[in-house]
Structure 1
Amino acid sequence: MRNQIEFVVYGKYALFTDPVTRIGGEKFTYQIPTYEALKGIVESIYWKPTITWIIDEVRVMTAIQTEVKGMRPAKYQDAANDLAYYTYLRQPCYQVRAHFEFNEQRPDLAFDRNENKHHNIAKRAVKCGGRRDIYLGTRECQGYVEACTFGEGKGFYDNYGEINFGPMFHGFTYPDESTSQDWQARIWVPTMQNGIITFIRPEVCDIVRTIKKGKAKEFKAGENFKAVEDEYIEMFGEEK
């Protein structure tokens, strides 16, 4: 597929939080990464408002294991500490395949739609380990990115068959990514086949809930937005 990148992301811990378990201050991870978490990782590798990243597939490379830790987060009502238990994934490792498309909801950035340059920068950024820090769900779970070929290597669930994870959070739809100008949350039912989860596109999700009304930020070249050519020179010190 055009505009596609492939990489492996791993770390010591991951916490892809189930929103239902956050009400009492304690957090419990999903068994697999959400679409939104992987999209955040890809955007930490490289992102511009001109493009929208679409997560195609994720391959679970290591066994799904959890570890519970006692934490002392700040209370909501004052500055004192509370006691809570967070459940993390241990030694997570995933191969990810994603591609970008131009954001048609941003006609103000049409001047920046240079497919080859965005793709080249994205591939270079993968080889560099990302442009920003990588986190596996939450900030305390540092992640690391390396370039790879999707499907290569041995995965724990290669011949495991099918696993259904039930309804879970898919991701957010932001005002500048939708014609409705609403901030929405999406739900879906993922299925893993021999370690690989193929994500449905955001617009295909059947269960969508509007969180609040929103408005897309406006960008203007030379004022609050840099052209891709200037971004490339800043990153690699040369013209392309």
Structure 2
Amino acid sequence: MATTMRDEPVPVAVQVWGPGALFTRPELKVERVSYPVMTPSAAVGVLEAIFWKPEMRWRVKRIEVLRPIEQFTQRRNETTELASLADAVSGRRRLDTVAHRVQRNAVCLRDVAYRIHAQIDLAEHADKPVTAYRDQFRRRVAKGRCFTQPYLGTREFSAYFGEPDDQQPIKRDEDFGLMLHSVDHGSDPVSFTWFDARLRGGVLKVPDRGIPGRPRIDTEPDSVGGSEG
């Protein structure tokens, strides 16, 4: 999706927080293990939950970590099978049964807060300037409005959001290695891109494009539910 010639980059920001988060590492499937900080794909999910139009695309530029990175472990119920669309619509088949349920450990993040900085890219057919989309987003944030409830990696960890304040990022430098940049669910099989994630002064800078590749997957089959990244 190309940026239209009339639209210079217009930055937007939003603050998000919650009691917990799970930004799942896709290469670890036996147990859910969170990245130490929010991933760009999870940030896009939050932004799209607040505001999205077919002619626009969110591009995350940086993520500020506002609270210390703390982990905790919990056991989560997950299902091992998916129902067909016909069964789901008719209600003939339920998956919340003991036969299809497994418990798995998850390494999650406790008491998180982030400030997401992003830009809006518009398609050529967009009929409004990018500032109009930015202003719509800001109004929705100010009023606490969203299309769907945003969440922090998985749906069980709902995200609160609001206008950005002047809180300083944590004072921490760390190299996280390869981190998930984006997921293309429209490809077959699903494709991933990655980037070299480095936290500097509590700020994670995000490149415009990730490096294509597939993660090394654990040999145990994945379960369904909770891997929204």
Fold equivalence (TM over 0.5)? yes
The C-alpha deviation readout for 1:173-218, integer Å capped at 9, x for no partner, is 466xxxx99963101111111101110002xx3x31389xxxxxxx
Deviation at 1:115, TM superposition (A): 2.5
Residue among 193, 212, 215 paired with 1:208: 212
Residue among 50, 53, 58 paired with 1:53: 58
Q: Is the 8 A contact 2:65 2:169 kept in 1?
A: yes
Aligned to 2:176: 165
Aligned to 1:214: none
Give TM-score, length-normalised by structure 2: 0.75
Aligned residues: 192
Alignment pair present for 1:14 and 2:21: yes
Aligned to 2:92: none
* Closer/same/farther in 2, CA of residues 74 and 210 from structure 1, 3 Å limit: closer
Q: Which amino acid aligns with 2:207?
A: I
Aligned to 1:84: 104
Q: Which amino acid aligns with 1:122?
A: F
Mapping of 1:123-142 within 5 angstroms? 123-131=138-146, 132-142=148-158
* Closer/same/farther in 2, CA of residues 172 and 83 from structure 1, 3 Å limit: closer
Question: CA–CA distance in 2 between the matches of 1:210 and 1:71?
Answer: 26
Question: CA–CA distance in 2 between the matches of 1:49 and 1:184?
Answer: 21
Q: Is the 8 A contact 1:182 1:210 kept in 2?
A: no
CA RMSD of aligned residues (A): 2.5
User: How high is the sequence identity, in percent, across the aligned residues?
Assistant: 23
* Higher helix proportion: 1
Question: CA–CA distance in 2 between the matches of 1:17 and 1:155?
Answer: 23
* Closer/same/farther in 2, CA of residues 7 and 200 from structure 1, 3 Å limit: same
Question: CA–CA distance in 1 between the matches of 2:128 and 2:191?
Answer: 26
Deviation at 1:155, TM superposition (A): 3.2
Where in structure 1 are there 5+ consecutive unaligned residues? 105-109, 212-240
Q: Is the 8 A contact 2:169 2:203 kept in 1?
A: no
Q: Is the 8 A contact 1:36 1:170 kept in 2?
A: yes
Alignment pair present for 1:4 and 2:35: no
**Whose relative contact order is higher, 1 or 2, with alpha carbons under 8 Å and at least 6 apart?**
2
Q: Is the 8 A contact 2:120 2:130 kept in 1?
A: no
Where in structure 2 are there 5+ consecutive unaligned residues? 1-7, 83-94, 216-229
Aligned to 1:153: 167
Q: Is the 8 A contact 1:130 1:145 kept in 2?
A: no
Question: CA–CA distance in 2 between the matches of 1:210 and 1:163?
Answer: 24
Q: Which amino acid aligns with 2:160?
A: Y
Question: CA–CA distance in 2 between the matches of 1:47 and 1:98?
Answer: 13
* Closer/same/farther in 2, CA of residues 85 and 111 from structure 1, 3 Å limit: closer
Give TM-score, length-normalised by structure 1: 0.72
